[in-house]
Structure 1
Amino acid sequence: MELRSDTRVGSEYDGSHLGRFWRSIWSCNSPHKIRHFAWRACRDVLPTKENLVKRKVLSDSCCDECKLAEETSGHLFWSCQRARDIWSLSSLFQESWVQLFGSFMDMLWYVVMVAQWEWEHSDVEKLIVVAWALWSNRNECRNRGVKKSCQALLQGALEYLDAYQACVVELGNPKQPVEPEHRLAGVGILIRDAEGHLIGACSKKLEAPLGAIEAEAKAVELGLLFARDLSIQDFTLESDSLMLINVLQDLSPPPSSVAALVYSLVAMSHSFRCVDFSYVGCNGNRPAHLLARHALGIAELSVWVEETPCFLEQALKQDVVATFID
């Protein structure tokens, strides 16, 4: 499945090193939801109070914790006193207290790319999981939950990471049973601009016995979520399932097996500025099929942002040439 957008995602960081930075983040031995949190925090798309004010959801961006500054990602995860207390307890930042990080991306870029000789990859994993725990408890408090002490938050986050990594080691034992291949489905998502340049791509393995229409509906769902995370508002969503496209265009009723999901997809599409659904034949969707095939050989999810997977380069070039010839 593919999305074509008229906008490109920019970055103020050195493009020549950005790929290495993202590879380091996505290779962290931590749950996908935590790696995805880090990616969203770096893209500054978390619903901090600063962002909610920009979206006109809130009128006040003051930090609920300290009441001293605007709640930006840089303040929330670094300069707020609660964050400082947590990092002090963690001993992760030793000689870095003089640094001024304006955003979460600044902080993570520093430890991964600037101070890389001082930081083990395992320490980067700890930093991200602690930041995730801080964000999660912040949200719990905003919903009248219990505010954890800095010590409890830090200890709980690190224990959670240890437990996850222990499970990964155990599941990696060859004696463990392997899921039958026929129970798996692969999903490939491709986002390109109007000239065919790659904005982002992802492969995801679905460990469920899904039929073709069900798998394609899940692909559309993942594509919409991916576009939202990349802050893309105008795009054409292409699928090689004519049945599903007809359903999404309200030209035919949905099959009962995907009816609930289709209604959810239509509602989700309304949260964007403009989404068009378009059918494309299998021959015109080869890059997405390669991503879907790649998904069957990965653990869970692979994401590429502003970089091209090596196995996709030739197919993308051929697809762009064919598009402009047509």
Structure 2
Amino acid sequence: MELLLAEIPSLHHDEDARVLRDCVDKKALTSSIYKLLTFAGTRCPVQAQFWSAKAPHKVRLFGWLVAKDRVHSKANLLKKHMRSEDVCELCHKESETTNHLLFDCCRVAALWPALGVSQPLCCRSIWDAKPASPTADGCWSTVLLLLLWRIWNHRH
């Protein structure tokens, strides 16, 4: 037994510290960890579009959730075991994912071509869409956010 104990390296009594190699200050703060987990430590490429929009804060926050596919759609709630089914309440045909609800559902799919936005759309590519009218370019991110918000509120 003494032989086994002799081979155990001695532990020092210094206080443990959590550090992150890739962070400037090396401290393991929640915000640092979150930044690394989301977009691999880089900024969300479309965040300027919805954070700078002239829309209420809750609408801009909703845009951020859409970009990250974190909206509480039935499909996302089913993954968290908070729902027993995920069928869309509007069309009763497909799984209610964020993409389905905002872009693909038969109740909203005609809206986007009418605005001059080409298909296919998804939570990430919608932010790259350009309006059909160049005059709307300055307020497009606000219009887009408000449209997404209105579609979401119609469902809820």
Q: If the TM-score is normalised by the length of the shorter chain, which range does it land in? A: 0.5 to 0.7
Query: What is the number of equivalent residue pairs in this alignment?
Result: 124
Deviation for aligned residue 1:80: 0.6
For normalisation by structure 1, the TM-score amounts to 0.34
Question: Does structure 2 retain, via aligned residues, the 8 Å contact 1:28–1:121?
Answer: no
Percent of residue pairs bearing the same amino acid type: 24
Query: Cα deviation per residue 1:275-319 (whole Å; 9 max; x = unaligned)?
Result: xxxxxxxxxxxxxxxxxxxxxxxxxxxxxxxxxxxxxxxxxxxxx
Equivalent of 1:45 in 60, 63, 70:
70
Contiguous gaps of at least 5 residues in structure 2 = 1-27
C-alpha RMSD over aligned residues: 2.9
In the alignment, the residues of structure 2 paired with residue 36 and residue 16 of structure 1 have an alpha-carbon distance, to the nearest angstrom, of 16
Bigger radius of gyration, 1 or 2?
Answer: 2
In the alignment, the residues of structure 2 paired with residue 16 and residue 36 of structure 1 have an alpha-carbon distance, to the nearest angstrom, of 16
Q: Within 5 Å, which residues of 2 pair with 1:59-138? A: 59-87=84-112, 91-92=114-115, 94=116, 96=118, 99-101=119-121, 103-108=122-127, 110-111=128-129, 120-138=137-155
Question: Does structure 1 retain, via aligned residues, the 8 Å contact 2:50–2:145?
Answer: no
Query: Cα deviation per residue 1:188-226 (whole Å; 9 max; x = unaligned)?
Result: xxxxxxxxxxxxxxxxxxxxxxxxxxxxxxxxxxxxxxx
Question: Does structure 2 retain, via aligned residues, the 8 Å contact 1:49–1:60?
Answer: yes
Question: Does structure 1 retain, via aligned residues, the 8 Å contact 2:49–2:141?
Answer: no
For normalisation by structure 2, the TM-score amounts to 0.66
Question: Does structure 1 retain, via aligned residues, the 8 Å contact 2:74–2:87?
Answer: yes
In the alignment, the residues of structure 1 paired with residue 75 and residue 44 of structure 2 have an alpha-carbon distance, to the nearest angstrom, of 28
Task: Give the match's secondary structure for 1:82.
Answer: coil
In the alignment, the residues of structure 2 paired with residue 35 and residue 95 of structure 1 have an alpha-carbon distance, to the nearest angstrom, of 20
Partner of 2:3: none
Structure with a larger share of its residues in helix: 1
Q: Within 5 Å, which residues of 2 pair with 1:214-253? A: none
2:59 matched to 1:31? no
| 1:10 partner amino acid | T
Q: Structure 2 vs 1, CA of residues 95 and 78 (structure 1 numbering), >3 Å: closer, same or farther?
A: closer
In the alignment, the residues of structure 2 paired with residue 116 and residue 23 of structure 1 have an alpha-carbon distance, to the nearest angstrom, of 21
Q: Within 5 Å, which residues of 2 pair with 1:265-276? A: none
Equivalent of 1:10 in 38, 53, 59:
38
